[in-house]
Each structure stands twice: as C-alpha cells, then as structure tokens.
Amino acid sequence: MRSSAAQPLPIDSDDSWALTTRNDYVKAVHCTLLRELSVNGAREFWSNNRFERNGQALSERALAAHIWDERALSPTPWMLGLVSELERFLVDKGVNVAAFNEQTRPGRDQELPVLRADGN
C-alpha cells in the first residue's frame, strides 16, 4: 500500500537529514506580492530567486506548479534565502515591510513545519 504522506521534492543532496519545508509561507508571499506589486512585481521577485532542481532553474510555470502542489516540499536553505531577499526587494520597491510581513506570517494556529528530506 502506498503512503499518502507528502513526498519530498528531490533536492541536490545525498544528505538524508537535509531539511525541507512546506510551501505555505511561499504561497502567502506570492499572493501578497501580487496584491502589493501586481503580476510584474511578483515575476520580478521570482526571476531573481530561482528555484533549482538538479542544477537547472525551474521555469515560471514549473515553479508555480511546485509552489501550489499541496504535497510539495522545498529545501529549507532556499526558503531562508527567500526570506532574506524579500526584505531588500520590498524596500527597493517602497513596500512597507512590516505590513507585508503581517499579511504573510502564519496565524497562531499555523506553523511552518520543517521536515527531513525523507518526509519525517
């Protein structure tokens, strides 16, 4: 019988303890980017923060499919890089960072689970 548990995204690592993260925060960032900066602003952010799989950057379509796949996980270092780059990007665009963060942070009943590469 196959497990219905979330399967990790293949990452460029042989380390079975590599951390992965659900895409909930990335979805919230994307929606808020669309609201604050429109499609072109969101595209600019993602074009500067490419997601690579097996050494190749995903296309916009493939990245969108990955972000919205409820079972997909992303490498935690990539997610942390997004967080780091996001503030600089928002400041450059004149967006209120504190207000943006308020719209994207998880509520009290939500968490951003971090999982090992094997999904546990």
Contact 74, 10 (CB under 8 A): no
Query: Which residues, at least 6 apart from 88, have a Cβ–Cβ distance to it below 8 Å?
Result: none
- Give SS3 for 33: helix
Query: Would the pTM count as exceeding 0.85?
Result: no
In tens, the pLDDT along 9-33 reads 444 455 544 788 889 889 999 999 9
∠ CA(49), CA(67), CA(58), 5° rounding? Answer: 50
Percent of the chain at pLDDT exceeding 90:
43
Distances from the Cα of 118 to the Cαs of 7, 9, 10, 83, 105, in angstroms? 8, 9, 10, 24, 26
Q: What is the pLDDT of residue 36?
A: 94
